[in-house]
Amino acid sequence: MAVAPMRITFCCTDTKAQPWLEGLRAALPNATIEQWTAGANLADYAVVWAPPQAFFDEQVALKGIFNIGAGVDALMGLRLPATAAVVRLDDAGMSVQMAEYVCHAVIRHFREFDAYEADVSAGKWSYRKPRLRSDFPVGVMGLGVLGERVARALAQFDFPTLGWSRSPKTVDGVRCFSGQAEFADFLAMTRVLVCLLPLTPETQDILRRDTLAQLLPGAYVINVARGGHLVDDDLLALIASGHVAGATLDVFRVEPLPAAHPFWHHPKITITPHTSARTLREESIAQIARKIRALHEGEPVTGLAGLVDLKKGY
């Protein structure tokens, strides 16, 4: 069925616009879709990634703002048009990527593959004493679209798996904790900590000295959410003290990670360039086009998966 004409503006930092514009035009042939420039016509919907405040100051007639990522922290500090619903990507192929990245990081640490690689490079054929899975409980902070998939995947490998979220949850094979009241218990039972929280005022700096100190000794930290969750110097100090054995980090306070940052060459820290779960263009365009069409045809905004609660900030 044909959809009434509409105007869509595209404003995505660090993104090649042309393939997105072509894909969106193919998926929504009745729409006029243009890359935003200052002074452009008012649009009905926006497709964005980290747009500047100037974009929203001009685009005051938006009914929907579609973020081409799962995290909306880059939008939450901006003044958004009051009439617009903010909608983030709901999985769109990211949860399986996140599950493989986190399982890889956990297994690499648990099985000591770094040490084996070093031995092999030195021409050494040597065995290490097998570690007990029961000594490596993995705690996942955030049991949303990505965190739940990650927790389920870890449980499949028989790691004792724990999860922590704001509201109570039930996930098969995962011991679930919720709210501030249960945070200390969750930390005290966790050796490998995975962060998959959204970055909000409540979760900013949550991976800091006093929280990481509550993990089981020889802890391991995997941050795949946002750099703002982690207090870098606190992690370095706890690694130096021996309480934390190491970390795998995909996200940083400043990206790209500055060349002089100690994480680059730290022997106990593995870094990757914010790549644990990439936005997949085809899946994302299909999802966003479906949601724009639904909104434009008058479906209630509350029915859209990935609708952001502006009060909670995610």
Residues that bind ligand OXD (CB under 6 A): 69-71, 279
Binding flags for ligand NDP, 258-277, as an x/- string (CB under 6 A): ----------------x-xx
142 token code pair = 């955030």
DSSP structure class, residue 287: H
Which residue in the list 88, 149, 166, 226 is annotated as catalytic?
A: 226
Residue from 167, 170, 210, 254 touching ligand NDP (CB under 6 A): that is 167
| Interacting positions 194-223 with ligand NDP (CB under 6 A) | 196-200, 202-203
Sheet hosting strand 45-49, strand order edge to edge: 31-35, 6-12, 45-49, 64-67, 85-87
Query: Does the active-site annotation cover 229?
Result: no
CB of 67 or CB of 190, closer to ligand OXD: 67
Binding flags for ligand NDP, 53-92, as an x/- string (CB under 6 A): ----------------xxx---------------------
Query: Does the active-site annotation cover 226?
Result: yes
Residue from 109, 166, 191, 296 touching ligand NDP (CB under 6 A): that is 166
Residue 118 CA neighbour count, 13 Å, CB half: 6
Contact between 25 and 31 under an 8 Å Cβ cutoff? The reply is: yes
Which residue in the list 209, 243, 274, 293 is annotated as catalytic?
A: 274
Distance CA 90, CA 286 (A): 12
CB of 36 or CB of 252, closer to ligand NDP: 252
The residue sitting closest to ligand OXD, measured at its beta carbon, is 69
Residue from 109, 152, 191, 226 touching ligand NDP (CB under 6 A): that is 226
Residue 69 CB, shortest distance to ligand OXD, in Å, is 3
Q: Is 255 in the site for ligand NDP (CB under 6 A)?
A: no
Residue 95 CB, shortest distance to ligand NDP, in Å, is 8
Residue from 225, 238, 244, 292 touching ligand NDP (CB under 6 A): that is 225
- Given the structure tokens 């022997």, which residue do they identify? 267
- Given the structure tokens 């389920």, which residue do they identify? 152
Contact between 214 and 207 under an 8 Å Cβ cutoff? The reply is: no
Distance CA 223, CA 102 (A): 9
CA dihedral (228, 146, 256, 281) positive or negative: negative
10 token code pair = 């595209």
Q: What are 94's strand-pairing partners? A: none
Q: Active-site residues: which are they? A: 226, 274
